[in-house]
Structure formats: structure tokens, C-alpha cells
Amino acid sequence: MMNPLKIAKQDARLYMSFMYVTFASLLVGGLMGLLQTLARSGKFTLPFNINYYTILTVHGVILGLVLTTFFIIGFQFALMGKTVGISDKQRKAGWWAFWLMLVGTVMAAVTILVGQANVLYTFYAPLRAHPAFYIGLALVIVGSWVAVFTNFRQLYVWKKANKGQKSPLLAFMVVINMAMWFIASLGVAASVLIQFIPWSLGYAETINVLLSRTLFWYFGHPLVYFWLLPAYMAWYAIIPKIIGGKLFSDSLARMSFILLLMFSIPVGFHHQLTEPGIDPTWKFIQVVLTFMVVIPTLMTAFSIFATFETTGRRLGHKGLFGWFKHLPWKDVRFLAPFIGMVAFIPGGAGGIVNASHQMNSLIHNTIWVTGHFHLTVATTVILTYFGIAYWLVPHLTGRRLTPRLNKLGIIQSIIWTVGMTIMSTAMHIEGLLGGPRRSNFSTYAGGDQVQSWIGYQMAQAVGGTILFIGIVLMVYIFIQLAFFAPRGVEEFPIAEEEVDAEPTPKLLENWYLWIGITIALILFAYTIPVFDILKHSPPGSVPFDWPIGRY
Amino acid sequence: MAKSTKQQLEPQHNPSINLKGTLIAVMLLGVFILATWFGCYYLFLSR
Ligand code: HEM
Ligand SMILES: [Cu+2]
């Protein structure tokens, strides 16, 4: 294992820039979330005649697309800088990535805020937003590609300088995640550039709706793994260090990332199970491929438990579960991600329900789905990101996570847990009772069933309010860590291998093989259905502006 | 740490390492997933 490098000041500035955008997004997006839950309670009307779907679009785009992408790219740059290093040229490229993404974000955000893009973060055709929205999104993606190729280059340069050595685990994981992101975002980029932009500008009269949705979900499922893998990086390679243990298995960690890469993309149809126009056979095949994710997921769970148990037993804890006691519950760098791991148990179980065709019909487009991904992305992923930020931000700014800030962090984690348990549980139940997602409060002309939803919507408003308090506290902690905490050195924790660890098979670094299999699986799962879509599509759709309040 | 030393070491497994808790924890996880799935499946059938 190589010794980690030191992060220079000018590199830290680049990584921190991504963090500023992350936490600014958290505040803006969180406020929208609060407003949504209040509006849906039926007791509160949005001020200034604001359209519910404007704030919902801001919420989804800013939290789901912007916050996540900025955090991930900043964190991954820091991991690469720490493990394989960054050159002046690569840092410059990093700044290009940052500015392209920021300009794109601002363009898209302003377009949404002025009410010209109430299309929600999935921007389904034939709703048509102002072209600036799509162009902004395209810039974010292109900016992220600059980061992709910079990260690839960083590992390549390191490999050349360290012939025959295996790459540092975290750098390997970053490259897997970026490879996945690149392959996946080609789909959405194609849709935005070839379909949406010309159509929104009026150069193309119609759009192939089914094709655009298929290309979106070709990207949309790997998108959620793109959020999750950085959390896994922390679970595999950082948390063991924080709890005073060692990496459980380098090979297992790499294999699980490879499996996640292979099974992340050829599965988008599980979001389109109710879609007419796709042959059920292909839906079935993609659902089977979806379920393969159980393997790397349980490998991850096994590895995490094993790290906990090995470390605990080394410290002399006995009994079947005695080792649970040794875990550093008072260290927020551990506690926040740990809560994230726990949330992933119901989150993952719910995901398996969602992906099962019959049961999907039970919950499709209900608020259950929203409850599901507020457990996965808005708890598992985000609490792990917070857990990373508690040490990464002070490490980069040359400050310390003081006992007081640590304590505030613990309070933050608890607030989040309470708020999300209330909100997400209420969403799950309301969804099973048929309550729709993506919809403002409505009594639906007094339908009976609606009565059964209202109590749960009130509960969501209570949970949402608690969550928003948690967001304000988190932003306060971030500002403290970035600007005011006492100067000092905060550790960048990276777990080491056991002294007697078995060597990692070289095969695991055979990029041609793994990317080759990934592409083969994609071609297998998508070629025929896409060909069918192109060949048998009904006439395309003209744009619709009025349903989203554009005239 | 140089790689060569690592490869020379016979992979010696610590005989005291005990992962019983891990095994049971992962099994419980599997049971939870199955219970959720069948619970929802039952709901689906009953509607
Ligand atoms: C204060 C905390 C939060 C609250 C109160 C909240 C509330 C909500 C509500 C009520 C909805 C559904 C509205 C509807 O379908 O009509 C929603 C959707 C969504 N939320 Fe959150 N949320 C919060 C935090 C987050 C976070 C941290 C993330 C991601 C990191 C996130 C991502 C999303 C996404 C992607 C959607 C889907 C938007 C759509 O369907 O177009 N939320 N949120
Ligand atoms: Cu998916």
C-alpha cells in the first residue's frame, strides 16, 4: 500500500469549491422540500402565487442532480489527489470542470426559478421547458466529463510511474464510478442534444417521447449508483480506519465495484415497467439484471459487518454481537454514515419491491416511491456524505472538527433520523393507500380514498419541518468547519490492508475486460428494444407548454 | 510497504478470527428483505 500524499493548498481550494456549491444547494433545495411538505398538508398555500411544480423542479434538480454531482466530483478529486496525486495541468482541468458545471447549474436554476421549466428533474417530453434549461443541463454533463477524463488521466499517470503496482483502492473505485457515469451520461446527453434542444428551439417539430424516456432511464438508474458508490467508498475504505480497524478485503471491495458497474446500466426498464411500447420480454430481462445487484450489495453488507466484528474481537469483545459495543458511537464521522447504512436496509428492501413488476403496479407513481428514495439518497447517501464532510472540510481548510462541532453533528444526525423516519414512513404508507407523488395538495373533488391520505400528509409536514431544522444545523456546521473552526490538522482517514492480506488478483484491474463486459451487457439489453422503438414508434409529439404554465 | 514482502508471506489466516456474528447479521438481513418482499406481494395478491 502506498503512503497517501499531502493535499496542497491550491488543490484544496479546487476541492472546496465543489463543497461550497454542495452545501448552498442543500439549503436552497431543503427549503423547497419544506415548502412541498407544507403545501401538501393542505394547511398552507405557497406565497406569491408560486407554482408547486416550480419548487418541486428546483428541489429535484438542485438536490438530486446538482448537490450530488458537485459533492461526488469534489470528493473524488480529493480522493484522487490524496492517493495518486494531481498535476498542475490536471488541476486546471478540474477548474474547467467546476466552472462549466457551475455555469450550467446557474442557467438551469434561473430558468426554473422564473417558471420557464416546470418539468421536474426527469424533464419528460412532451412538456417543453425553455431551451436554456436543457442547455444548462448539457453544460453540467459536459463539465462532469472533463472531471471524468481528468480522473482517468490521474490514475494513468500514476500507473506509468508505478509499473506493476496495483492501483490504490480508492483511486480504483473513483475510476469505476466515473466510467459508469460516462457510459451512462452518454444516453441522457444524446437525448438532450439530439432530441430536446432542437425541439425546444423549434428546429424539430416533434419528439419521440418513448425514445427520450428510454434514454433518460438508461442514465437514470446508473445515476442512483453514481450517488451510492462514493458512499460505498467511505464504507469500504474509510470507515474501517475511523473505527480503528483494517480493510476487510481489497479484492472483495474491487469485485463488488466491478459488479456494480456491470449491472448498473442494462436495467433502466425497471423504471418503465408501466410503459407501453416496450416488449415485456425485455422488461423481464432487465429486471433480472436489476436483481443481480443483490450480490454486490450483500457482499458490501458482509464486508461491513466483518470489519466491525474483526475490529471488535481484536479489542477483546466477546459474544455473538458483543463487538457492536466497541463502535465509536460518539464520533460523528462514524455515526452519520452508520445511520446511513441502517437506512439502507429498508431502503434496499423497498427497492426490490419497486423492481418487481407486479408489485411495481402497486406503488408506481405513488408517494411510496418518494418515501423510498428519501431513505436511499436522502438518508443513506446524504448522511454518508455529511459523515465525509465532517473530516474532509476541515482537512482541506486546515481546521479541526472540535468536540463541540462533533456534538452538533451527532445532534444533526439524530434530527435527520427522527425527521426522515416520520416523513418517509408516512410516505410509504400513504403510497400503499394510493396517494400520488409529484402532486400538490388536492381533495380530488372529495373522493373517499383521499381522506385516508390527509393524516399522512400532515405527518410528512411534521417530518419535513424537523428535517429542515437538520439542514440549517448542517449548513451551520459546514460554515464553521470551512471558516471558523480552530486551526489544526484533521486526519484524512484511509484504511490499510491487513499485514497478511492475500494479494489482490491482477485480473481485477483488467479494465478492458470489465468495461467490455459492461458494454456487451448494455448492447444485449438495449439493442433490440431500441431498434423496436425506432422502427415502430407512433408519430412524435409536438411540444406542450401550457400544462406547465408557459405561454 | 513493498509489494514483494507481501507476496512472500504465505497467506496465514488468523485462526482466532471469528465471523459468526457477521454471518448471522447478514442472514437476518436476507430474512428482512424476503419478509418485506412477501409482505408487499401478499398485499398485491389481496387487492
Ligand atoms: C428537508 C428535507 C427534505 C424534504 C422535506 C423533502 C421533501 C420532499 C417531498 C415532499 C417530495 C415529493 C413531492 C411530490 O412528489 O409532490 C420530494 C421529492 C424529491 N426529493 Fe426531497 N425532501 C428533502 C430532502 C431531499 C434530499 C436531501 C434529496 C436528495 C439528496 C431529495 C431529493 C428529492 C428528489 C430527487 C425528489 C423527486 C422530485 C420529483 O419527483 O420530481 N430530497 N422531497
Ligand atoms: Cu433504478
Question: Which residue of chain A has the CA closest to B42?
Answer: A359
Ligand 1 mutation target, pool A31, A61, A63, A369, most atoms within 8 A of CB? A63
As a whole number of angstroms, the distance between CA A260 and CA A266 comes to 11
Which of B20, B26, B36 lies at the smallest CB-CB distance from A349? B36
Looking at beta carbons, which residues of chain B come within 8 Å of A350? 36
Average pLDDT for residues A371-381, to the nearest whole number?
95
Q: How far is B32 from chain A (nearest CA, A)?
A: 8
pLDDT in tens, A407-457: 999 999 999 999 999 999 999 999 999 899 999 888 888 888 888 899 999
Q: Are residues A170 and A4 in contact, defined by beta-carbon separation less than 8 angstroms?
A: no
ipTM over 0.90: no
Q: Which three cell numbers stand for residue A125?
A: 417530453
Q: Which three cell numbers stand for residue A509?
A: 484491474
Across-strand partners of A127? A544
pLDDT in tens, A222-260: 999 999 999 999 999 999 999 988 888 899 999 999 999
Q: Are residues A427 and A374 in contact, defined by beta-carbon separation less than 8 angstroms?
A: yes
Kindly list the residues of chain B whose beta carbon comes within 8 Å of any beta carbon in chain A.
Answer: 1, 3, 6-7, 9, 11-14, 16-22, 24-26, 29-30, 32-33, 36-37, 40-41, 43-44, 47
Q: Is the pLDDT of residue A99 over 80?
A: yes
pLDDT for the residue numbered B18? 76
Share of chain A above pLDDT 70, in %: 99
Q: Strand, helix or coil at A544?
A: strand
Domain boundaries, chain A: 14-497+511-548
Per-residue confidence band for A2, with pLDDT thresholds at 50, 70 and 90: low
Which of B3, B17, B21 lies at the smallest CB-CB distance from A321? B21
Which residue lies with its CA nearest to atom 16 of ligand 1?
Answer: A438
CA atoms within 13 A on the CB side of A374: 27
Task: Quote the ligand 1 centre to A336 CA distance (angstroms).
Answer: 20
Interchain proximity B41–A359, CB inside 8 Å: yes
Catalytic residue, chosen from A374, A399, A400, A428, is: A374
Average pLDDT for residues A348-361, to the nearest whole number?
86
DSSP annotation of A507: G
As a whole number of angstroms, the distance between CA A482 and CA A24 comes to 13
CA A163 from centre of chain: 34
Residue range A14-497+511-548 forms a domain whose CATH class is mainly alpha
For A544, list phi and psi in degrees, rounded to 5. -120, 125
Q: Is the pLDDT of residue B15 over 70?
A: no
- pTM, 2 dp: 0.93
The residue type found at A27 is L
Ligand 1 mutation target, pool A374, A418, A428, A468, most atoms within 8 A of CB? A374
pLDDT for the residue numbered A309? 87
Question: Which residue of chain A has the CA closest to B12?
Answer: A500
Q: How far is B8 from chain A (nearest CA, A)?
A: 10
Name the one residue in this structure whose C-alpha cell is 449508483: A225
Q: Are residues A253 and A299 in contact, defined by beta-carbon separation less than 8 angstroms?
A: no
pLDDT in tens, A464-512: 999 999 999 999 999 999 999 999 999 999 988 888 778 888 888 888 9
pLDDT in tens, A44-87: 888 888 889 999 999 999 999 999 999 999 999 999 999 999 99
Using CA atoms of A336, A339, A344, A345 in order, give the dihedral in degrees to the nearest 10: 160
Q: Is the pLDDT of residue A101 over 80?
A: yes
Q: Strand, helix or coil at A399?
A: strand
- Cα angle: B1, vertex B5, B10; to 5 degrees: 130
pLDDT for the residue numbered A416? 97
Average pLDDT for residues A250-272, to the nearest whole number?
92
Q: Are residues A364 and A274 in contact, defined by beta-carbon separation less than 8 angstroms?
A: yes
Interchain proximity A298–B11, CB inside 8 Å: no
A199 or A502, which is more confident: A199
Which of B16, B26, B32 lies at the smallest CB-CB distance from A349? B32
pLDDT for the residue numbered A239? 95
Q: Is the pLDDT of residue A331 over 90?
A: yes
Q: Across chain A, what does the average pLDDT equal?
A: 92
pLDDT for the residue numbered B8? 41
pLDDT for the residue numbered A161? 92
pLDDT for the residue numbered A324? 80
Q: Are residues A412 and A477 in contact, defined by beta-carbon separation less than 8 angstroms?
A: yes
As a whole number of angstroms, the distance between CA A441 and CA A59 comes to 17
Share of chain A above pLDDT 90, in %: 69
